[in-house]
Amino acid sequence: MRRIFIVALAFLVFACAKKENYSIKGTATGIPDGTEIYIEELGENNKRIALDTAVVTAEAFVFTKPREEGKGLQILSTSLGRQQLLIVKDQAPLTITLYKDSIPSSLVTGSKENELFNTYTTKSRQLNKKKAELTKNLNQARRETDGIMVTEYTAQIQALDEQYIESKKQVLTENTNTMVSIMALSDLINAKVLDIEETEAYYNDLAPDIQKSTVGNSIKNYIAQQKSQRAASNVASVGNKAPEFSAPTPDGKELALSETLGKYTIIDFWASWCKPCRMENPNVVRVYNKYHDKGLNIISVSLDQPGQKQRWLGAIEKDQMDWYHVSNLQFWNDPIPRSYGVRAIPATFLLDETGTIIAKDLRGQALENKIAELLGDS
């Protein structure tokens, strides 16, 4: 199941260290002497920060680390490859049984939190493996046009998905003071089975120290972002006035939306790097050239990146987009698309002469048909 990167797996809270130490000991059966074992934390912006390195000697290794307050997750990996093991930061001494051929399946004991975490991740792997097998069988049945087995495998996958969701909800509601709750909430978010109200309710039920962890903060920010985008989308809905904005034109002057309004006006969100946008541009050019004299205006808002003004200007010229253009050159940090709830481009808003939104996201023939309806075909 696809994971988006809110993903709770790889974050850790920074905390003040105490003077006393605690240990993480491990066995490494089959792992050669001299192999390095790393333990890291991943801070803000996915920056991995090394905590310690141990060396395998006689199929064993030991970390001695300062005690750290707060909740978090740590990452253990080896010099043998990219596989990694996630462990819950804990004050208790931990013992790890490291499996050479399956580092993520390694066993962590010594604390209830890590044992719970082990159980959770093991069950998740089992469900994912079973779903992969069922999906393989389903695809084979489709190739063989076996309708009966297609129906059977589809029903089994649906039942497994429901089991996956319910098991994670149960873990989340029964373990609100442990880091496994963040793991479960993140998995549910990534599975796209929660609306924003459910996500916020689950988050609010978590213990304060879980909420304050780096993982918790990432989910808090996600909730705020989703609510902001939804609010913007509601504001920029059909029947409402289009939010006013102004931004620099290609020659550096400020241009406001209100200055560009014609009998009908298209706000076109695009970027020079956006292939679907560039593919749509010839259609928009054709519609503009056909109806501009009848009262159609266009203002294109580019989401080009900082320092790439020449790419923006070059695309305007190459695509022959002979209308109003503005851009803050701030990529997805631009406040204009945010105020319209735009999360993907191309995106269009069609306004009447008062600046009221009368249609959204018209492309291709649908755009031309709508403009012809409003301004008359010729």
Question: pLDDT tens across 318-333, in order?
Answer: 999 999 999 999 999 9
**What is residue 21's predicted lDDT score, i.e. its pLDDT?**
56
Rounded to an integer, what distance in angstroms lies between the CA atom of residue 135 and that of residue 152?
Answer: 11
Non-local CB neighbours of 143 within 8 Å, separated by 6+ positions: none
DSSP code of 245? -
Higher pLDDT among residues 77 and 66, named by residue: 77
Q: Give start and end residues of each alpha helix (H) in the chain.
A: 112-143, 147-174, 179-190, 196-204, 208-211, 214-235, 275-291, 309-318, 335-339, 364-375
Q: Residue 2 and residue 153: Cα distance in Å, rounded?
A: 20
Question: Which residues of the chain are in CATH 2.60.40 domains?
Answer: 10-110
Cis peptide preceding 346, ω within 30 of 0: yes
Tell me: pLDDT of 206 over 60.
yes
pLDDT confidence of residue 318: 96
CATH 2.60.40 fits 10-110, yes or no: yes
Amino acid at 60: A
Amino acid at 104: P
Which positions ≥6 away from 82 have C-beta within 8 Å? none
Q: Which fold has domain 246-375?
A: Glutaredoxin (3.40.30)
CB 162 within 8 A of CB 170: no
Asked if 98 and 28 touch (Cβ cutoff 8 Å), the reply is: yes
Confidence of residue 139 (pLDDT cuts 50, 70, 90): very high
Confidence of residue 16 (pLDDT cuts 50, 70, 90): very low
| Sheet strand arrangement including 48-55 | 48-55, 36-42, 73-78, 84-88
* 0.75 exceeded by pTM: no
Residue 1 has pLDDT above 60, yes or no: no
Q: Cβ neighbours of residue 59 under 8 Å, at least 6 residues apart? A: 27, 28, 29, 30, 31, 33
Q: Where in the chain is the domain with CATH 3.40.30.10?
A: 246-375
Q: How many CB atoms lie within 10 A of CB 282?
A: 12
Sequence-distant (6+) residues with CB within 8 A of 224 are: none
Q: What is the DSSP letter of 57?
A: B
Q: Which of 62-76, 239-253, 254-268 has the lowest mean pLDDT?
A: 62-76
Distance CA 289, CA 294 (A): 10
Phi-psi region of 322 (alpha: psi -120 to 50; beta: other; left: phi over 0): beta
pLDDT of residue 67: 61
Euclidean distance between CA atoms 174 and 172, whole angstroms: 6
